Amino acid sequence: MQEEIMQEEIMLGKKVWAVVGATENTDKFGYKIYKRLKLKGYRVYPVSPNYNEIDGDRCYKDLSSLPEMPEVIDMVVSPAKGIAVIDEAASLGIKNIWLQPGTYNNELMAAINEKGLNAVQACVLVALP
């Protein structure tokens, strides 16, 4: 538990994030998380193949399309979709994965551990009040 809290603090200290599963639907967590990170001063990129822009910002179809590599990826997609994201993150050298509630399962956690990535399982909206 203590290690997870330290990992949270380390990730929250990094200023370039990508929200995978971002959405323009203001009622969904993919939008709320993206907006909160922006309001808290993070440089944050929305990632979703479903939108061209979110909140007036360009939306990127995948991590490889981003103009810079994020220091942290916030996952707001199902574990089934998340496996491909973990694979892409690892191939790009992105080490920090923030997993929102409901976005992880044993298979996804095994993939994260196998690739030597850091993971936090917590709601960023709670961590960033």
Residue 93 has what pLDDT?
Answer: 97
Which of the four CATH numbers 3.30.70.100, 3.40.50.1370, 3.40.50.720, 2.30.30.40 does domain 2-101+120-127 have? 3.40.50.720
Q: Which two tokens stand for residue 54?
A: 């979110």
Q: How far apart are CA 101 and CA 95, in angstroms?
A: 19
Domain layout of the chain by residue ranges:
2-101+120-127
pLDDT tens digit sequence for 45-100: 999 999 999 999 999 999 999 999 999 999 999 999 999 999 999 999 999 999 99
Q: The tokens 């491909």 sit on which residue?
A: 84
Is the distance from CB of 98 to CB of 74 less than 8 angstroms? yes
Residue 67 has what pLDDT?
Answer: 98
Residue 129 has what pLDDT?
Answer: 77
